[in-house]
Chains A and B, each alone.
Chain A
Amino acid sequence: MTQKRTAILAALLSATALSGAYAADPIKIGVVTPLSGTYAGIGQQVKWGLELATKEVNAAGGIMGRQVELTFEDEEANPSVAVQKADKLFQVGKVDFLTGTVNSGSTLAVGQVAERAGKLIATTVSFADSITADKCSPNVFRVNARAGQQSSALAVWLSKEKPKAQVFYLGPDYEMGRSTVAAFKSSAEKVGANSTGEVFAPLDSKDYTQYFGQLRAAKPQVLYTSVAGNDTVRLFTQLQEFGLLNNLTVVGASGTVTAQNLGAIGKAAEGFVTGVGYSAEIDTPENKKFVAAFKAANKSDPDLYGADSYGLIYAYKAAVEKAKATDTDKVRAAFKDLKWMTPQGEKTLRGGDHQAVQTMYVVKVTGGKFTIVGQVKGEDAIGPDTCTRF
């Protein structure tokens, strides 16, 4: 449906804007993203962000005079499906570039498909550090901030606002959850925080109240959590129910509280602080323009996923225009240390590990909205390049 709409739009634009001039073949970007299943809400933001940027780029004449065409495939939050759909887009759809994967398992597996097909992909969502560290790939880029960047930013804020805080950690018990907790713990301890305990709850836990005994006994001032999505809604609701939110600052990963679940969490989210690569509140003309356009198109605020996906199209545009081609090797070379503008300011794609370096924001939920309470410069949050493959 959407691909048809985009195609019609592209056709209309090429008929009017280029009016008679030869209509070059469109540049095709494949999107393999979860439109159903657990991560459907994130997939929706990815889709909205990409569609908005594509519409703007096409209205302004496309990339090197070529229109951009998006083709969506649902990966059902399942790497096996993602791989099959990526293969389809590469082989049958003949896409020039691919994006959209959300869970890190899908990103890693699709990255391998891209390597074998000789194409490039970028993730705009996956946080796992490994994607641009020990499991890095010459064909995979990441334009969003990884877990390490987020926790460094948050730790900087913590050291200023709550020096020598007593911190308790509550993470979802799977690879991602454990690594985010470990990353923040080491960042926080470096700036003088004391760890008072940690607990890991299974993914999709119904009830977090069973861990509240340990939490209460540890008497922390700060609770760090990296649960996400529906799990966050439950955790916060139950913390509030048990009256634990008084005198406790809750901080967390950037995926913990987002525009998708903020409404459902309601008042319980008040005071939550996170380090994140994007906030709709960033006070720049570029961002205001972006937020207004996003709201007009989708009747919803953009969150980090929508904004990073939106920014990707401009990164790809910049790279293709620099390379003057869509060939894999040329675009890869053009992506190296590429600087480009996004709603959240300038980003740089580090050549050594394909990780975007960007200003990190510390945001706090106040009055049901995210407000920015701090900023950390890109180079201070990024951490060393540990990718050894290229």
Chain B
Amino acid sequence: MVDALTRSMRASHVLVAILVAASLAVAAFGVATNDTFYLRLATEALIFAGLALSVDILLGYTGLLSLGQALYFGLGAYLSALVLMVIPSFWAAFAATAVVAALAGLIGGFIVNRVRGVYFALITFGMAQVAAKIVYNTRALGASDGLIGVPVININLGIASVSSASPAGFFLFVLALIVILYALSAYLLDTPFGRLLIALRANEARIPFLGYRTMTPRLVAYVLAAMVAALSGALYPMLRGFVSPELFFFATSGNAVITVVTGGAGTLVGALYGSVLLTVLKSVIGSYTEHHLIVIGLLFMGAVIFLPKGLMGSVRPLIERMLAREPKQ
């Protein structure tokens, strides 16, 4: 039983596999040339890809645009930084972030899921703005200066350990983690639960007549997105050794939205490609002109007008056709 959704998700998986292969090649090249900057930049791109992924879970599957996903990203980053400064253990930081993000997502979800459409966008925006202000004014959290001095950690993986200071090692670790987050989200959204979400998006009024509740699946999707964003954020201080309130700011949320829309909303893989594309673009344009916002703004408007499905939304059907041609065993 293969329906259209499963087929297109398979195409997404193929695209992720291509990205992973390319990443492995980049890592190998980076190790060979003794590079640290590009590997760290790529790691950062992956971390922000995780944030974009969480925006896409909401936008692509529930049709709700979050303009405040940085709230959970920043929460994860600060929590991880605070834990690491006391207990320099990856698993402690990761577990704490997962638990707190789930709770915060639940509370946030109850608030925001009472509204739809643009109201949802504005309420998420407002919530993130309030959180940013609170962090910015709280001395215990370093206030406007943020927190520096997050230690380099060794991540114990049972059979081996990876240092967060090792450019290639930490890159591969983050790659693995983001792919796992992708796979988990993709799996969940391919189950009947995911289909229910899509049905909700298509026609909310009919769902109760089919015997489903409308509130619960939305809440689950929102908590999932919150956790994905927070867990990605938790990786940030490991990479850079500090956190600052700017991680909560609208610029962070806005960038994630730009990433998803140019990458292709509703494809999940678009978030990953979009983040890589945007990071490369910003890094290149930024070296030539300080007016990079004009370029980014134009490209983004162009994507909204001419490429409504985003890059991956346009590429994926090609892969689907190729997959369809292959004989089924």
Contacts and interface: CB of A to CB of B under 8 A. Distances in A.
Q: Are any A and B Cβ atoms less than 8 Å apart in their complex?
A: yes
Interface of A: 1, 35-36, 40, 73-74, 76, 78-80, 83-85, 87-88, 90-92, 103-105, 108-109, 111-113, 116, 128, 130, 135, 173-176
Interface string B255-271: 00000000000000000
B146 A79 contact: yes
Given A74-B290, A116-B165, A128 B37 contact: no
Contacts of A73: 286-287
B36 interface: yes
A182 to B, nearest CB: 12
A282 to B, nearest CB: 31
11 contacts: A1-B288, A79-B146, A80-B240, A83-B242, A87-B37, A88-B37, A104-B145, A105-B146, A108-B146, A108-B242, A128-B145
Given A78-B251, A79-B244, A80-B240, A88 B145 contact: no
B137 A173 contact: yes
B292 A91 contact: no
A111 B144 CA distance: 16
Contact of A175 (B37, B145, B165, B242): B145
B283 interface: yes
A59 B25 CA distance: 45
A252 B146 CA distance: 25
B41 A84 contact: yes
Given A78-B251, A87-B40, A88-B37, A1 B148 contact: no
Contacts of B51: none
Nearest to B40: A87
B241 A112 contact: yes
A76 B296 CA distance: 14
Main secondary structure of the interface of A (DSSP, over half): helix
A341 B236 CA distance: 42
B286 A91 contact: no
B244 A109 contact: yes
A135 B293 CA distance: 33
Nearest to B242: A109
Contact of B146 (A85, A87, A109): A109
A204 B6 CA distance: 50
Given A78-B244, A80-B240, 19 more contacts: A36-B291, A73-B286, A76-B251, A78-B249, A79-B146, A79-B244, A83-B240, A83-B242, A84-B44, A87-B40, A91-B36, A105-B145, A108-B146, A109-B242, A109-B244, A112-B242, A174-B136, A175-B143, A175-B145
B287 A108 contact: no
B288 A91 contact: no
